[in-house]
Amino acid sequence: MNGRTILFDALTTREGSDLTFDVWYLNHYLPAMSARSNWLGMRRYGSPALGSYLAVFESDEASVDLGTPPPAHESVIRIERYLARHIGEQTAAGAEPDILEADFLYPVIFDVPEERQSEFERWYVEEHLDILLSCPYWQMCRRFKVIDPVPGAPTHIALHYLTDLRALESEARTRARSTPWRQRFAAEPWFRGDYRVYHRHGKGRAR
């Protein structure tokens, strides 16, 4: 299950949300979202530290009509819902065959000015990922460009698939963040990524 279009659907809840949200999310929200398109499937993640629930829906369609999403639960304080088109991926040599089912998803989200997007994408492909994927715990990255921008939306989402959170403290990550090319980007005011860690939940299918 690996589509050319994804729906990145993250809900953040207020602190102290109770079981009623979980019931609503699993029994009402996800089924309603799943019914809005002919999805290939869905993977579900959570981040207790952020109070965030993430579903990544996959489609083979170039565009997806979501219709009107279901009303949010009263516990939801933030909704991030982005349709994004696949623009590339890289997998480490010897990566596990089922790496898309990895225990940890590390989304990195950027809002890149149009005039810097070409070089940003070249940097990711030609340098950044080669270094990161040299870490044995860093096994795959899928890159997407947001296709339904709204005010405040990002332009690029990279989904990194990790087998161990030690990847985030690895020598490879330190090296990847220390190159001259990366440092030139870091000096620009727009280069402020949104970095998150999610844990895989179950083997959810959308259909």
> Hey, what's the torsion of the CAs at 80, 190, 129, 197, to 10 degrees?
-40
Would the pLDDT of 12 be above 60?
Answer: yes
Tell me the average pLDDT of the chain. Answer: 92
We find that the CATH architecture of domain 5-201 is 2-Layer Sandwich (3.30)
Number of Cβ within a 10 Å radius of residue 90: 17
CA–CA distances in Å: residue 11 to residues 30, 44, 66: 11, 12, 16
Entry pTM:
0.94
- Dist CA 140 CA 133 (whole Å): 7
* Both structure tokens of 38: 């002919």
What confidence tier does 36 reach under pLDDT thresholds 50, 70, 90?
confident
Residue 118 or 16, more confident: 118
Q: For 93-114, how does the pLDDT look when each residue is reduced to its tens digit (9 = 90+)?
A: 999 999 999 999 999 999 999 9
